[in-house]
Amino acid sequence: MQKKFFGGKPLIALALGASVLALTGLPAAQLEAAPAAATPTAADRMIQPAEFVKKANMRSPRLSPDGRYLAYLAGANGKEMLVVLDLNNLSKPAKPILQAEEARESGDRTLAGFRWIGSDSIVMTIQSREDLGGGLGDFGRLVSYNVSTGKLVQQAWRGAGGDATRILYVDHVKGEYLLERTATTGSTERWGVPEVVRVSVGTGEYTMVQRTNPIVQGWFADSDGVVRGGFNSNGENGKFQMLYRSNGKEAFRTVFHEADKTFTGGPPVPEFIIPGTDTAYVVSRKDGFAKVYKVDMNTLNFSEPVYATPGFDVQGVLTDFDDRNLLGYRTFNGEMKTVYTDGRYREIQGFLDELFGKGEASIIDEDRTSNRLIVYAGGRAKGGGFYLYDTNTAKINLLNWQRSAIKDEPLNPVKAEWVTASDGTKIQVIITTPRHRTGKALPVVIMPHGGPFGALSAANQLEPWNQPLAEAGYVVIQPNYRGSGGYGKAFEQKGREPGGYGMRMQDDLTDVLNFYAKTGLVDAKRACIMGWSYGGYASARGAQRDPGVWKCAVSGAGVYDMPLMNKWDAQHLGKFSSGFQATSDNPEGISPARNTDGKWAPILIVAGERDARIPMEQSRTLVGNLKRSGKVEGTDFRYIVQPKGTHNLPYDDVHIQWIDEALAWLTRFNPAYLPSDSDKPVS
């Protein structure tokens, strides 16, 4: 099997094949022993900010089970299109299927995701936004597209309720799958309570597999297509209930029913169940850090840890195409990585490390036989691209650059480092240094990430503004402040306890600034703060609490009035869930909008009218109170409302506006280059 997998050739004999940039009209480029390096001219030129945030040339590539077709999202005219490429006929351009827009108004449709079922059908998740008695609500449906016939087929729409999109199990050979859906057949009382049906992807017809259970909000199935359990979460008391059974003939029984009042533990939900057993792989923080365990689902007895990364949380497990065998683990240590335990994949990863550089390439997708794989290489030291690795021919072909305007040009260096806060807490930061600069005491932007309880990775940026800001000449520091995920339960709790939100978490940001000022890398007197979502809150809080530290602030989609936000969360998420965010014993005191008197650092405020997570009342309240406190619009603050904006910056125009306005504000109050600087590059 090992010999067949690699086409019968040793690793040292594998060679790169010809590039096949046929997807969006890019010229072909011959690859030699490694991807061609960028020319000195390209390395010296400045990349425009918009090029870092535009829709990618290629995103989320997915191979068909037989390896013949590749479906992916392609950026075009500021939006995205789902397209499909025939890998056996690369002279033909990719075929467009459906435009992927984000729903904003009643009647809008959104392509929210896609996957293969069988080798001919792409099943697309469509979200529809509708007016429900004066309020907007989303409906979810599946539609299949047959790549051979071009036929679109509605999937189990008859009798479906608000959502009919969650796929629990797939049989690629039969072209069938298990679909969890809410239903309205016979009674509207079943609205929001899901059933499970077996669907034929070719016809969209279905048969009942699991009827509704009044206490089940979601189901899970094993790799044989048997519904093995269900769960629900009570938004009022926080209790998570999980039901389980050993086979399809047994009745369900409750095996877990507890509340995690710290929001840092999590229930023992199986990552996957070992076929034919009651043993599941579970990722749990029961010992402080997220580790992988084997768990008897009947008793919830845990084994000793199967896999752990000391000092960090394991992110999950990786299984094969049919979810029957363990291949490895998803890990985090400042970067998101995959550690393979399977011998074949370890060898492939070793080959990729040798070819592209250690840690520079990763496997993105594969066909069912693992004969064809999609590999992403780059994205750290230089721009990245997607490659087709054919193990039968032992060749790797470049399919497309992730961003056509950047290709494989050098990027601004990014790395993870540790900093000690003023109270002795160790904090990991992601630091991006401007590649064009040679001096010391550089201007700096501290950029707290959103969440706030996730983790920011040096290799996988969810907030990609470090690169355009560094390209413009700023050092960008993104702290994984206390409360960030990835560093264990106790570290996350530090951000949730009173004195964390808006207080000690803010101190972490100034501590990081002072640390790098002492090294001589940055000038603490040339510092601004910028962020989105929670990062927007932290930026506004910094402008209000520490105006002497920050020369300016840039805040997008932020929370500015905590009591108002807690009230909104209680109404929309439930009483218990409303405590997920700030746990301050003084929510008014940490709310920038309730403390607008006194000195503020000049602040840019950006809000999206279609933001479904942060209501517009947050930015309107802040702006109104700033004006009442005598702050002058255009001088003390600037307020931008994006009519098409959502919480996710869905279109090129709103994303480019965000980064351009941010850079203009930074340049106005904290220019990257002073007249005395001799290292300014040629535009």
The fold of the 414-669 domain, in CATH, is: Rossmann fold (3.40.50)
Q: Please, what are the averages of pLDDT over each run of 10 residues along the chain (683 residues)?
A: 27 32 30 37 77 92 97 88 94 88 60 95 88 66 96 94 95 97 68 90 97 94 97 87 96 94 85 96 96 97 97 95 95 92 94 92 94 93 94 90 92 94 96 93 96 69 84 96 93 88 95 98 98 96 98 97 87 64 79 97 95 92 98 98 89 94 98 87 61
CA dihedral in degrees (631, 632, 637, 643; nearest 10)? 110
For 234, list phi and psi in degrees, rounded to 5: -90, 115
What is the pLDDT, as a whole number, of residue 571? 77
User: Of 244, 240, 123, 132, which Cα lies nearest the Cα of 175?
Assistant: 123
User: Of 109, 222, 202, 77, which Cα lies nearest the Cα of 147?
Assistant: 202
What is the pLDDT, as a whole number, of residue 328? 97
* CA–CA distances in Å: residue 498 to residues 149, 505, 584: 60, 11, 4
User: Of 169, 184, 179, 298, which Cα lies nearest the Cα of 224?
Assistant: 169
What is the pLDDT, as a whole number, of residue 392? 85
CA neighbours closer than 13 Å in the CB half-sphere of residue 230: 21
For 91-113, the pLDDT digits (tens) are 899 999 988 765 445 456 788 89
Q: How many CB atoms lie within 10 A of CB 567?
A: 12
The 8-class DSSP code of residue 503 comes to I
What is the pLDDT, as a whole number, of residue 191? 60
The 8-class DSSP code of residue 373 comes to E
In the chain, where does the domain assigned CATH 3.40.50.1820 lie? 414-669
- H or E element: which one contains 74? strand 69-76
| Residue 386 near residue 24 (C-beta atoms within 8 A) | no
